[in-house]
């Protein structure tokens, strides 16, 4: 009889060895289950994140369309020469372009969601909506065209002013300066 047989019987030795194996097995199972959980979370996020981005872009486009309608209503209801209105505008994503050279106000947004049929102008009241397919996104353009009735200026100049994203709202001031020599009403815009 061997010396260690006095203290342990063969089944006790086997049980101790199995106990050590069970501890290792528990750790391996824990790691495997954790990896499976991470893979599942990754798959869900891989599907959900693009959908969330599309929903956010759609909400931004709706708010931007409302902002453009408010600017349009402000210009159309301005009244006579000397009247001034201030409109707060918020841009969380995209760009607002005051194209005074072409007498247009344009909002552009790079979106993950197709807003309208690509390559086709669609009217939403006085707003012209154009969606263009780009590589990996859509460029959505909302345009107010005042070329037939108004002469737009920014700080008294015929320039292109680009207004980008900001955490605080902008204060867009619009002043009716009366008619120019061509019979168009001059709308002078500025930011304050």
* Domain residue ranges of the chain, discontinuous segments joined by +: 45-191
Strand partners, 124: 127
Neighbours of 175 (CB within 10 A): 18
What element of type H or E holds 191? strand 185-191
What is the rounded (10 degree) CA torsion for 180, 181, 183, 184? -40
Please indicate whether residue 96 or residue 15 has the higher confidence score (pLDDT). 96
| Residue 132 pLDDT | 93
Check whether 86 has a pLDDT greater than 70: yes
Share of the chain above pLDDT 70, in %: 88
Answer yes or no: are the C-beta atoms of 109 and 140 closer than 8 Å: yes
Tens-place pLDDT, residues 26-64: 888 888 999 999 999 988 888 888 888 888 989 999 999
Q: In the structure, what pLDDT confidence band is assigned to residue 7 with cuts at 50, 70 and 90?
A: low
Nearest-Å Rg of the Cα atoms of the chain is: 32
Residue 119: closest CA among 147, 141, 97: 141
Strand spans (E) along 70-169: 84-89, 95-99, 104-111, 122-124, 127-134, 137-145, 150-154, 160-163
Q: In the structure, what pLDDT confidence band is assigned to residue 22 with cuts at 50, 70 and 90?
A: low
| Residue 15 pLDDT | 53
How many residues are listed for the chain in this entry? 192
Check whether 150 has a pLDDT greater than 90: yes
Structure tokens that stand for 149 in this block: 């009735």
Q: In the structure, what pLDDT confidence band is assigned to residue 16 with cuts at 50, 70 and 90?
A: low
Q: What are phi and psi of 183, to 5 degrees?
A: 85, 10
How far is it, in rounded angstroms, from Cα 165 to Cα 146? 24
Please indicate whether residue 78 or residue 130 has the higher confidence score (pLDDT). 130
The single residue listed with the structure tokens 């194209």 is 99
């Amino acid at each position: 009889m061997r010396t260690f047989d006095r203290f342990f019987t063969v089944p006790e030795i086997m049980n101790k060895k199995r106990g050590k194996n069970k501890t290792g097995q528990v750790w391996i199972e824990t790691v495997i289950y954790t990896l499976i959980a991470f893979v599942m979370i990754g798959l869900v996020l891989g599907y959900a994140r693009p959908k969330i981005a599309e929903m956010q872009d759609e909400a931004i486009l709706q708010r931007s369309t409302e902002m453009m309608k408010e600017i349009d209503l402000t210009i159309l209801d301005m009244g006579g020469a000397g009247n001034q209105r201030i409109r707060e505008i918020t841009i969380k994503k995209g760009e607002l372009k005051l194209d005074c050279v072409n007498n247009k106000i344009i909002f552009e947004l790079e979106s993950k969601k197709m807003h309208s049929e690509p390559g086709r102008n669609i009217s939403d009241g006085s707003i012209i909506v154009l969606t263009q397919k780009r590589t990996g996104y859509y460029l959505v353009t909302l345009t107010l065209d005042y070329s037939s009735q108004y002469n737009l200026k920014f700080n008294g100049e015929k320039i292109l002013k680009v207004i980008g994203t900001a955490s605080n709202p902008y204060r867009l001031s619009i002043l009716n300066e009366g008619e120019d020599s061509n019979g168009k009403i001059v709308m002078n815009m500025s930011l304050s």
